C-alpha cells in the first residue's frame, strides 16, 4: 500500500512539475512577444498588394543606395540614403550624368562635378518612403548591408515597390512570413 501511495505521489509531483514548466515556458514566450525591445528593418513591399518582398536588419547610421538608368534621359543615376538617429530615411547624395526631366536637383548641400557626374552631397533631405517602379528594360540595382539586389528582376520588376524603415519586435518579425501580412500591419514607422 505504501508503494502505491508513493507512486501516486510521484505522478502527482511529476504532473505538477510539468504544469509549472509549461506555464513558465509560456510566460517566457509571451514576455518575448510583448517585450518592447525592437529592431529596425529596411523593408521592400509590393505597395498595391501590401506584401513583404524583402527585409534586412539595419541600424541607425547605416547607408543604402540604388543605381539605375533613367527611363527618359537614358543616363545613370546613383542615389545614397542614410538612416538617421530617429530611424528615418535621409537622402544624402545624388549622382547623375546629365540634367533633365525627373532627375534630382536641389540647391541644398554641396555640388561638384566628379568623374563626369553631377554630384549633390550632404543633402540631408528626409524621405518618408521610396516608391519605385523597376522596369526590365534597364538594370536597377539596390545595395544594402553588403547585399546587392537586382530590382529589375522578379519579384520586384513591374511592381510599384515601397522601400521603408520599420520597427519590429523580434517575435513580430519572425511571424511575418507565416502570417502572410504586410509589415505595416505589425509595426509603427521607425
What distance in Å separates the CA atoms of residue 94 and residue 78, rounded to the nearest whole number? 6
Considering the domain architecture, whether residues 160 and 129 belong to the same structural domain is answered as: yes
Question: Per residue of the chain (190 residues), what is the pLDDT tens digit?
Answer: 455 556 666 666 666 667 777 677 676 666 666 665 788 999 999 999 989 999 999 999 999 999 999 877 788 999 999 999 999 999 999 998 876 645 555 567 788 889 988 888 999 999 999 999 999 999 999 999 999 999 999 999 999 999 999 987 766 666 665 555 555 544 444 5
Best CA proximity match to 180, nearest among 53, 82, 43: 53
Q: Are residues 134 and 152 in the same domain?
A: yes
Same domain, 112 and 23: no
Query: What domain range includes position 172?
Result: 38-189
Residues 154 and 85 in one domain: yes
Residues 88, 174, single domain; the answer is: yes
Judgement on whether residues 20 and 93 belong to the same structural domain of the protein: no
DSSP-derived 3-state class of residue 174: helix
Same domain, 174 and 116: yes
Outline where the chain has alpha helix (H).
Answer: 2-34, 170-179
Cis peptide before 155 (omega within 30 of 0): yes
Query: 142 phi and psi, to 5 degrees?
Result: -125, 135
Q: Do 147 and 176 fall into the same domain?
A: yes
- Structural domains of the chain, count: 2
Cα–Cα distance measured from residue 127 to residue 140, given in angstroms and rounded to the nearest whole number: 20
CA distance 69 to 84: 27
Amino acid at each position: 500500500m505504501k508503494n502505491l501511495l508513493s507512486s501516486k505521489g510521484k505522478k502527482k509531483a511529476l504532473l505538477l512539475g510539468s504544469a509549472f514548466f509549461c506555464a513558465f515556458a509560456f510566460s517566457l514566450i509571451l514576455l518575448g512577444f510583448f517585450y518592447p525591445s525592437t529592431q529596425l528593418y529596411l523593408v521592400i513591399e509590393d505597395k498595391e498588394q501590401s506584401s513583404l518582398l524583402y527585409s534586412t536588419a539595419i541600424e541607425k547610421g547605416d547607408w543604402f543606395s540604388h543605381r539605375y538608368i533613367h527611363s527618359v534621359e537614358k543616363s545613370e543615376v546613383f542615389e545614397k540614403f542614410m538612416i538617421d538617429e530617429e530611424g528615418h530615411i535621409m537622402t544624402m547624395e545624388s549622382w547623375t550624368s546629365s540634367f533633365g526631366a525627373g532627375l534630382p536637383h536641389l540647391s541644398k548641400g554641396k555640388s561638384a562635378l566628379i568623374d563626369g557626374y553631377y554630384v549633390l552631397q550632404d543633402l540631408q533631405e528626409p524621405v518618408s518612403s521610396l516608391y519605385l517602379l523597376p522596369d526590365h528594360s534597364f538594370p536597377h540595382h539596390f545595395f544594402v548591408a553588403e547585399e546587392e539586389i537586382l530590382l529589375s528582376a522578379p519579384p520586384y520588376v513591374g511592381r510599384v515597390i515601397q522601400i521603408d524603415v520599420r520597427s519590429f519586435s523580434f517575435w513580430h518579425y519572425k511571424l511575418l512570413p507565416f502570417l502572410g501580412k504586410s509589415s505595416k500591419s505589425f509595426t509603427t514607422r521607425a
